[in-house]
Homo-oligomer: A and B are copies of this chain.
Amino acid sequence: MKTPGLLKDLQQAVGTAHVLTRDSADLSAYETDWRKRHTGRALAVVRPGNTEEVAQVVRLCAQAGASLVPQGGNTGLVVGSVPDTLGRQVVLNSTRMNQVLALDAANLTLTVQAGCALQAAQNAAEQAGLLLPLSLAAEGSCTVGGNLATNAGGTQVLRFGNARELCLGLEVVTPQGEVWNGLSGLRKDNTGYDLRHLYIGSEGTLGVITAATLKLYPQPVAQLTAWAAVPSLQAAVDLLGLAQRHLGAGLSGFELMGQFALGLVDKHFPALRVPLWQTQPHCVLLENSDNESEAHARERFETLLEIALAQGCATDAVVAESLAQSRNLWHIRESISMAQAEEGLNIKHDISLPVSRIPDFCAETDALLARTLPGVRLVNFGHLGDGNLHYNVQAPQGVDPKQFLGQHETAINALVFDAVARFNGSISAEHGIGSLKAHTLPHYKSPVALALMRSIKQALDPQNIMNPGRVLAQNTD
């Protein structure tokens, strides 16, 4: 690798000011991942201003044999967008490419550059009276390119699908530095292999997403939230089925929260006044997005909850009286992560299962954990409507969390993931693989699928310069 030559070439391609190196700038924000689990060392951070510059940067790196790490807001949770420690990778940061390129109200589409922050894209839609229904905790910092590269999930998947389902078209720079303009506002296009879906979720290992066309929806007229205590996980699953029948596509959120998780919120954020959590093992939060009126949304919720109470799949329930109350209920749900952090380090899992199997999965895995590690505490919550649980494991009361993690993390991960596999679930529902799970994946993914993935990677990136070692580990066991 001819480093000095490459740096000069990169400066020529994007302008000296946009090639950051250790000598001239503090690179820590680009080199350390969001959860601060890993700090790498970049040869340079390059910040191109447009697609043609991205293509040039990729070509220069390919010529020099330097590998690239595509990076958006760097908010990923699986160490997929920071360089390794060898100091030879080029971080390709998209955040200068943050423009909204087009909004087509009649076609219900929004086209943005990859580096556009998700919130900026949401705002552009909202200004036109429309809804971009991708929403997640990091939306102020994360980019649309990163959302698509990792197929982000979030809180509205139940109604609108993952990031993948919201994308109609992509522009991509290939590992050879060619530009594929697949920016389409088309809802139907059967002209060959679906390259769009191949790049979505490939975590920057097959090319660089530089722009995207996203689906928009009319804004709902009213959004109402309800909260119910449920006597069991099976009751929560039954309530989900009832809600799907009665609210149809109006049901835009169905979140499950275990009693211990809510207890942590109550303990660390008492001002939030968590409702109904003490009587039953779980609560659920339901959201109804109505295109008619708030009164209609309320009437539908009340009918649903009456039936649920009569059938015994909820024992108590409240419907938010105001937007402020709705927001507060969501705020409680979103405070679980913070509350568990207050309680101390824990082992996080982002798993998914067929919805129907969640009660049995939890019964079996809870018992297995309790038997293996007596006193262990479970912070179990998540997007039940999507079959997605954040099934997090906290040290027993009084045990030092750091020591507990050091001793038991590997075994606990194996226990949980083995259980997930027995129930035909996924070890990564919405966070992806990155480098964090690249060595775990081969234990749980079908060998045939892995071989197909390797063939595709080899075919599209034979030089292995695009985010090497992510998703597919370089030295498998």
Q: Which residues of A contact B (CB under 8 A)?
A: 104-109, 150-151, 153, 157, 161-162, 164-165, 174, 178-182, 184-195, 197-198, 200-202, 206, 217-218, 220, 237-238, 240-241, 244-250, 289-292, 300, 352-357, 383, 386-388, 424-433, 441, 444-446, 448-453, 455-460, 471-472
Contact = CB atoms under 8 A, between A and B. Distances in A.
B356 A192 contact: no
A186 B353 contact: yes
A441 B192 contact: yes
Contacts of A459: 455-456, 458-459
Contacts of A187: 157, 352, 386-388
Contacts of A248: 218, 220, 249-250, 289-291
A401 to B, nearest CB: 27
A201 to B, nearest CB: 5
Given A249-B249, A356-B107, A448-B174, A190 B387 contact: no
B180 A387 contact: no
Given A106-B241, A107-B387, A191-B441, 5 more contacts: A106-B240, A164-B194, A189-B426, A193-B206, A193-B471
A430 B198 CA distance: 20
A426 B179 CA distance: 19
Contacts of A456: 193, 198, 456, 459-460
A426 B245 contact: no
A446 to B, nearest CB: 6
Contacts of A354: 104, 107, 109, 185-186
Contacts of A174: 448, 452
A187 B153 CA distance: 10
A181 B446 contact: yes
A105, A354, A450, A471, most chain B CB atoms within 10 A: A354
A52 to B, nearest CB: 14
A123 to B, nearest CB: 20
Given A186-B426, A426-B190, A455-B459, A108 B388 contact: no
A105 B241 contact: yes
A100 B8 CA distance: 62
Nearest to A188: B429
B446 A182 contact: yes
Contacts of A431: 190
Given A446-B181, A456-B459, A188 B441 contact: no
B445 A188 contact: no
Contacts of A292: 300
B352 A186 contact: yes
A159 B190 CA distance: 18
A191 B105 CA distance: 34
Nearest to A299: B292
